[in-house]
Structure 1
Amino acid sequence: MKILFLILFCILINFQIQGCSKQSLSNNFSENINLKHNGEFNPMKIDSIKYNELTEEEKRVIINKGTEMPFTGELNNNKSEGTYICKRCNAPLYSSKDKFDSGCGWPSFDDEIEGAVKRIPDKDGMRIEILCNNCDGHLGHVFEGERFTEKNTRHCVNSISMKFIPTGETLPKVISNKMESSGSNYQKAIFASGCFWGTEYFLQKSKGVISTTVGYIGGWKENPTYEEVCTGKTGHAEAVEVIFDPSVTSFEELAKLYFETHDPTQVNRQGPDIGEQYRSEVFYLDDSQKEITEKLIKILESKGLKVATKLTKADKFWNAENYHQDYYQNNGKSPYCHVYKKKFD
């Protein structure tokens, strides 16, 4: 009985120590940057975007990743010329010139409009799911090696996931997955500092940040998957695209937070995560962002830090898979390789 009591006592002490440690880190972070909503995550996330209204059956397929019965979709036998767009967000997905009859019972395409479709391996690893790259709506699956066409690729798409716009008709405006709106003065910044989960964790809690999106940038391969980036052979960095309100915060404030929440002296790694994809890099969108970052790097170097952070003109940013977005917020965890440490006066 005494032994059991001793074990329970030790467990209780351990929880108290951990709780104090986490509270101390939180307080230190809160005291040194402008948090919003008392440190809570920004409630104005992309979940609040007003996408097109869907029927219950459309929701079952597009949002809940269901499958419509074969040979039942109204677009399966469509042979008209035009563009197939996402029913949820209006993003153009496929051209009629790439559609062919595979006999499978669902619309088939051997190519997509560039950058329109995202690929994610199914959990069982047997098939590759395809999603709208703008809103993550489920489309179907993609198969290769079947020799139906010269491109040797078949996008097997649920008819219910798409809407057809005939040639000559105006395509509807795409409902963006960013919080930007026409006439707004929101600005964008892109930071890479190791695992994008941790980079996003601190940036999305900063006052003035409207939305954050984790993804890949700086590589040669188009529309890369997480598995491909993890090989270290695509050239991409895991990064976070930040949309912020310049009337509330500034690029310089966000860049300071970026430098203060990772170790910018590490080369191609951050903590236990090792690889080129985990490099420290700022992808600037204009000369002002470049000059501000250069100024902050000089300040850190004057303090004795050998800064390894790269500074690169931003190119195409590819959104990461949906399960990577808001990772720590959704899982109730804290970063394991990003810690706040004040570096600027």
Structure 2
Amino acid sequence: MTYKKLTPEETHIIINKGTERPFTGKYNDFFATGVYTCKQCGTPLYRSEDKFPSHCGWPSFDDEIPGAIRHEADADGRRTEILCANCGGHLGHVFDGEMLTAKNTRHCVNSVSMNFISAEQHAAAEGTTLQKAYFAGGCFWGVEHLLQQQPGVTAVTSGYMGGKLPNPSYEEVCSKTTGHIETVEVLYDASVVSYEALAKLFFEIHDPTQADGQGPDLGPQYASAIFCNDDKEQQTAEQLIKQLQQKGFDVVTQLLPMCTFWPAEPYHQGYYAKTGRAPYCHRYQKRF
């Protein structure tokens, strides 16, 4: 197997088991959707949905791609080293029992030991084209959690849409003055799941008849809405709303034009998966 030629810094860390300075790695405060691969051999190591902000100074993950990581007792006898199972390249160390996420483990990894491949790049390499859909149905934690379980969905990102303030913070959105709605961006493989199937699921995991929010979360930032990419999505959503109305549901879901999606802060991403909790105002209810 051909390995990448390493720079002196990469050799110091990957081969000689060094450590980059904390808070200096390019992936420390990086939360895009995709896959992290071994810098030396290219083997996929971690998925972005398993990355979390630990504030320790290095990229942190609470899970690994099965079979990708080798665990060995460190030379100091006190820690557990993690290495690429394919090439043996040094990644960092793993720590258990810190209670930082529900999985209660932290892979502390050097940014230098990894490359990042976006979900779109990864799909393109496999000959798959991914599409994006945007749904708002109350607190984005629950919408994200339930849509993520749909086969064909590659990733779901929580964020904000519809407001007038660029890149708003959670606190600014909660002030109810920016006009933003808590929204999720769904990255999906249309050869596996259709936009119509996703929209149907959206209408079945929240209450599309509640006009003042969702469950106990009240306010305009929790409105029910779909941001449509094109006329086809608009027509699909309109047909589904019509079907629900014929069944007696007084649907208040807004169909809004596409606008900028602003990802929410890292601690909002994969909230229920990280905490081990369950959605408190979202559940599946068959309506179609």
**Normalising TM by the smaller chain, what interval?**
0.5 to 0.7
CA separation of 1:333/1:293 partners in 2, compared to 1, >3 Å: closer, same or farther? Answer: same
User: In 1, distance between residues paired with 2:179 and 2:252?
Assistant: 17
TM-score, normalising length: structure 2:
0.61
Paired residues, what number?
188
Whether 2:268 is the aligned partner of 1:310: answer no
Contact 2:128 2:189 in 1 (8 A): no
Query: What is residue 160 of structure 2 aligned with on the other side?
Result: 216
Distance 1:278 1:194 in 2: 4
**CA apart distance, 1:61:** 3.3
> Out of 293, 307, 311, which is 2:237 matched to?
293
Q: Find the residue that maps to 2:272 and give its secondary structure.
A: helix
Q: Which residue identity lines up with residue 246 of structure 1 in the other structure?
A: A
Paired amino acid for 2:20 = E
Distance 1:64 1:246, change over 3 A: closer
The answer to whether the 8 Å contact 1:235/1:277 transfers is: yes
* Counterpart position of 1:61: 24
Q: CA deviation at 1:180?
A: 1.1
**Out of 254, 260, 283, which is 1:339 matched to?**
283
5+ long unaligned stretches in structure 1: 1-52, 66-85, 90-122, 124-160, 162-174
Matched ranges for 1:1-345 at <5 A:
56-57=19-20, 60-62=23-25, 178-181=118-121, 182=124, 184-344=128-288
- Partner SS state of residue 189, structure 1: strand
SS for the counterpart of 1:296 is helix
How much is the aligned-residue C-alpha RMSD, in angstroms?
2.6
Inter-partner Cα distance in structure 1 for 2:28 and 2:188: 30
Q: Cα distance, 1:59 vs. partner?
A: 5.2
Aligned with 1:336: secondary structure?
coil
Q: TM-score, normalised by structure 1?
A: 0.51
| Aligned mates of 1:208, 1:59 — CA distance in 2 | 37
Amino acid in the other structure paired with 2:119: M
Gaps of 5+ in 2: 1-8, 14-18, 33-54, 56-110
Match of 1:304, SS state, is coil
How far apart are 1:222 and its partner, in Å?
Answer: 0.2
Q: Distance in 2 between matches of 1:282 and 1:179?
A: 23
Tell me by how many angstroms 1:287 deviates. Answer: 1.2
Whether the 8 Å contact between 1:268 and 1:277 is mirrored in structure 2 is: no
CA deviation map 1:120-145 (0-9, x unaligned): xxx9xxxxxxxxxxxxxxxxxxxxxx
SS in 2 for 1:187: strand
In 2, Cα distance between equivalents of 1:58 and 1:208 = 39
Measured in 2, the distance between the counterparts of 1:314 and 1:329 equals 28
User: Alpha-carbon deviations, 1:271-310, whole Å to 9, x = none?
Assistant: 0000100000000111111110000000000011110000
Q: Percent identity?
A: 50
Asked if the contact 1:207/1:248 (under 8 Å) is kept, the reply is: yes
Which has the larger helix fraction? Answer: 1
